[in-house]
Amino acid sequence: MSSIESVMNETRVFEPAESFKAQANVKGMDGYRALCEQAEKDYEGFWAGLARELLVWKKPFTKVLDESNAPFYKWFDDGEMNVSYNCLDKHLATQPNKIAIIFEADDGKVTKITYKDLYHRVCTFANGLKALGAKKGDRVIIYLPMSIEAVVAMQACARIGAIHSVVFGGFSAKSLHERITDASASLIITADGQFRGGKAMQLKPAVDDALAMGGCECVKKVVVYQRTAGETAWDAQRDVWWHDAVQGQADTCEPEWVNAEHPLFVLYTSGSTGKPKGVQHSSAGFLLHAINTMRWTFDYKDSDIFWCTADVGWITGHTYVTYGPLGIGATQLMFEGVPTYPDAGRFWKMIQDHKITTFYTAPTAIRSLIKLGADLPKQYDLSSLRLLGTVGEPINPEAWMWYYNTVGQTRCPVVDTWWQTETGGHMITPLPGVHGLKPGSCTMALPGIMAAIVDEAGHDVEKGKGGFLVIKRPWPSMIRTIYGDPERYKKNYFPEDLGGKYYLAGDGANCDLDGYFWIMGRIDDVLNVSGHRLGTMEIESALVANPLVAEAAVVGKPHDIKGEAVVAYVVLKGARPEGEDAKKIVADLRNWVAKEIGPIAKPDEIRFGDNLPKTRSGKIMRRLLRALAKGEEITQDVSTLENPAILEQLKEVVK
C-alpha cells in the first residue's frame, strides 16, 4: 500500500491535446462511452462485430460465446481461419511492398523486409517444417534471439497449425528442459548463437544440454538458424541447419484452416507454485484482441512506425511484435541488441534514425535509462514520436513524468497498459484520445472488458478501497487452459471463494473516485523483477536443489530500477558460513540459480541463518522476512516465533 501512496502524490491530470483527439481512432470520452455501452447492452454482439470487421474468416462463425463448459470458454467456435493468413496474405492485395519489419542488429546493420517477402519467407519455412514432419497440433519449441527469423518461425507454426512455445533466450538449459517435456515438443527451432552488446553468445549448447537431461524422446528434430557462425556441436541425425531446411522449398504454402479455438501457442509463465504454467491461447480470439488493441490503444495509422522493445520470448513480444503489428499491417522495428550498447543513447538514436512514431517499453528500461543519462534524449531528434506506452509493472510518477516530458516532449500521450500473459492483450489502459492521464494509473478498462475490484468473498468494494482485481466476464483473448493441467487453470483463475465465475488476475488494485484503476502489485508469491514474472517458489526449489542447501525462502524487496529485487534466506546443511566462506557460497548459489532458471532469477542478496523464522506450526513467516529484507524494524508480534534469536542473523547481508 505504501508504494501506491507515493504514486498518488502526482495529482495533475494530463488531458489529450485537441489535435490528438481530433485524429484519434476512438475520439474523446463520448466515443469511449458509446463503445462501453454497446458492450454492456449486447456483449456477444459487440465482440462478434469486431471479429467480423477485423478478421478474415475461411468459414464464418455463427456462434459467439459458448459458456456451457465454464470456465473453459469458447469464442467463435464454429468459425475457421488461419492466423498467419490474417497477418500476411490479407495484406498482399493492398500493400505487398510496404515494409513489415525493419530489423536493426546489435552492430547497427539494418535489414528491411516487405510484407510480400515476409509472406514468402514464412511459406518457405512452413514447407520446410512440414518436410521435417511437423503438422497441425504438434508442439514446437522456439528458442531464438530477437530476429526476423523468430517472427518467421512463429508465423510458420501458425500457418501449419503447429502450436509454438517460445522460450526466452535468457532461460537456462534446465528451464528449457522443463518446458520441452511439459509440452512434449516434437521440434525445436534455435540459433547457433546471438549478438548482444558487441559480444557473440552461444545459444544451441543450452538446447543440447536440455536434450541430454533425458525424457526428451519426443523431440525429433532441431532446426538451427546460423547467426554467429561460430563452432557448433552437431548431431547429424537430429540437427538441421535452417538454410538447409528451406532449400528447394516452394515459396507459397496453403494455410492450414483451423477452428477459431485451435491453440495458437503455449507460453510458460511463473505462478505461485514451483512449476511454471503453460498458458494456452486460442487462434481467433487472441488475434482479434491483438489487432483491436493496436487500433484502440496504440491509435494505429498506416503511416506509423511502431516499436515494441519486448523480446518475443515474453507475451508482450507475442502480441505486440509477432501478431498485433502484422495483423494490422504495420511497419515495425525489431532490435537485436541491448539499450546500453554502444552507449545509453541507443534507443533514442534508433527512434531518430527510423522515425519511430509509437514507442512501447517497460518502466524498468525507462528507470535505467534515466539513471544512465537523463539528458541523453535531448541530443536526438525525437520529433517523429506521437505516442508512448509502458507495460509490465507499475510506473512510478517520477519515471512517468520524465518519459512524458523528456522523451515525449509533452506532446505524446503515455498509455500505461495493464495486462498479463493470461489476458493475451491490453485490459486496463488509457485510450490516447480519450483519457486524461494520471501518472501511475492504468486508468480504465477497455470497452468490453469487465474489470472490477472485489473483496475475499467476491463482492464489489466501494470506490477508493483496495481489493482483488477481477474480470467479470470472459473475453476473446483470455487464457483457455493451463497446458496439460485444466484443474490448475480452474483453481488458480476461477477460485470458488469468489463464486467460481470471475477471472482472478492475482493483482491487488484500487479504483479511485474518478473510476481510475491503480495496480498495487501481486497478491500471490510472484515477484516482478524488471518486468519479468518470477515465482518465489521456483527460486526456492532451485536453491534447495543445491547439495549445500537445507532450506530456503525467497521474498522481494523494492528496487529503484528493477522494481523488485530478489532476497533469499538460506539455511545450509552445514554450519552457517561467515567471512570469505560466506562470500564464496553466495557467488556459487547465484550462479547455481542462473543455471537452474536463468540469469534473471539470480538473487540480489543472500542471507544465511541457522534456521528460518517459523511459527510453532512450522509455517515460514514471510511477512517478517519481507520486513527484514527492507531493513524495517520488526514491530510485528514475534511471540509465535519458535526461534526469535535467528532474526538477528537474518539481518546480515553477505556483501
- Strand segments, DSSP code E, in 86-166 are 99-104, 110-114, 139-143, 163-166
Is 286 in contact with 264 (CB distance < 8 Å)?
A: yes
CB closer to ligand WTA out of 26 and 469: 469
Name the DSSP letter for residue 119.
H
Angle between helix axes 536-544 and 579-596 (nearest 10 degrees) is: 120
405-447-278-327 Cα dihedral, nearest 10 degrees: -80
Q: How far is the CB of 238 from ligand WTA (least distance, A)?
A: 32
| Single-letter amino acid, residue 268 | Y
Q: Which residues are annotated as a binding site for CoA?
A: 196-199, 316, 530
Toward ligand WTA, which CB reaches closer, 470 or 549? Answer: 470
Q: Could you say which residues in the range 345-364 bind ligand WTA, by CB under 6 A? A: none
For residue 508, CA distances in Å to 520, 523, 524 come to: 5, 6, 9
The answer to whether 396 contacts ligand WTA (rule: CB under 6 A) is no
Cβ proximity to ligand WTA, 82 vs 390, nearer residue: 390
Nearest-10 Cα torsion for 495, 500, 506, 509: -130
Is the Cβ of residue 331 or residue 429 nearer to ligand WTA in the bound state?
Answer: 429
Task: Mark the segment that binds ligand WTA (CB under 6 A) among 159-167, 255-263, 351-359, 413-421.
Answer: 413-421
Q: Does 187 bind ligand WTA (CB under 6 A)?
A: no
Residue 418: strand pairing partners = 428
String of contacts with ligand WTA for each residue 310-329, x by CB under 6 A: -----xx-------------
In whole angstroms, the minimum distance from the beta carbon of 194 to ligand WTA comes to 21
Distance CA 87, CA 329 (A): 7
**Binding region for ligand WTA (CB under 6 A) out of 130-138, 290-298, 504-512, 625-633:** 504-512
The answer to the question of residue 421 lying near ligand WTA (CB under 6 A) is yes
Q: Rounded to whole angstroms, how far apart are CA atoms 277 and 626?
A: 25
Binder to ligand WTA among 61, 85, 143, 419 (CB under 6 A)?
A: 419
Task: Write down the H helix ranges in 438-578.
Answer: 486-493, 536-544
Binding residue for ligand WTA (CB under 6 A) from 106, 182, 507, 525? 507
Find the binder of ligand WTA among 327, 506, 535, 556 (CB under 6 A).
506
Among 52, 275, 522, 576, binds ligand WTA (CB under 6 A): 522
Among 76, 418, 494, 569, binds ligand WTA (CB under 6 A): 418
CA 607 to each of CA 566, 576, 578, 631: distance values in angstroms, whole numbers, following the listed order: 11, 10, 11, 13
**CB of 321: closest distance to ligand WTA in angstroms?**
13
Residue 567, CA atoms < 13 Å, CB-side half-sphere: 24
CB-based burial label for 212 (10 Å; 0-12, 13-18, 19+): exposed
Site for ligand WTA in 279-298 (CB under 6 A): none
CB of 629 to ligand WTA, least distance (A): 19
Selected binder of ligand WTA within 165, 361, 528, 546 (CB under 6 A): 528
DSSP classification of residue 545: T
Contact with ligand WTA (CB under 6 A): which of 261, 336, 393, 540?
A: 393
Q: Which of residues 426-455 bind ligand WTA (CB under 6 A)?
A: 442
Which of residues 71, 255, 389, 392 is near ligand WTA by CB under 6 A? 392
Shortest distance, position 519 Cβ to ligand WTA, whole Å:
4
Q: Which stretch binds ligand WTA (CB under 6 A): 239-247, 258-266, 499-507, 643-651?
A: 499-507
Of 128 and 440, nearer to ligand WTA (C-beta) is: 440
Q: What is the dihedral of CA 435, 55, 392, 554, to 10 degrees?
A: 140
Q: CB-wise, 407 or 519, nearer to ligand WTA? A: 519
DSSP string, 304-333: -EEEE---TTSHHHIIIIIIHHHHHT-EEE
In the sheet that holds 163-166, the strands lie side by side as: 239-241, 221-225, 187-191, 139-143, 163-166, 265-269, 277-281, 481-482
User: Stretches 49-57, 331-339, 389-397, 538-546: which one binds ligand WTA (CB under 6 A)?
Assistant: 389-397
| Gap between the Cα atoms of 417 and 361, Å rounded | 10
Q: Does 268 bind ligand WTA (CB under 6 A)?
A: no
User: Between 273 and 649, whose beta carbon lies closer to ligand WTA?
Assistant: 273
**Given the rule CB under 6 A, which of 2-10, 198-206, 222-230, 410-418 is the region that contacts ligand WTA?**
410-418
Q: Does 271 bind ligand WTA (CB under 6 A)?
A: no
**Residue showing the smallest CB distance to ligand WTA in the complex:** 421
Q: What separation in angstroms does the CA of 269 have from each of 150, 168, 215? A: 19, 11, 21
Size of the site for ligand WTA (CB under 6 A): 21
Assess 171 for contact with ligand WTA (CB under 6 A). Answer: no
Closest among 136, 229, 150 to 189, alpha carbons compared: 150
| Interaction of residue 525 with ligand WTA, rule CB under 6 A | no
User: How far is the C-alpha of 119 from the C-alpha of 272, rounded, in Å?
Assistant: 40
Cell numbers that stand for 452 in this block: 472490477
Give the separation between CA 634 and CA 117, rounded to whole angstroms: 63
Which residues line the annotated binding site for Mg(2+)? 544, 549
- Judged by the rule CB under 6 A, the positions of this chain that interact with ligand WTA are 269, 315-316, 391-394, 416-421, 442, 505-507, 519, 522, 528, 533
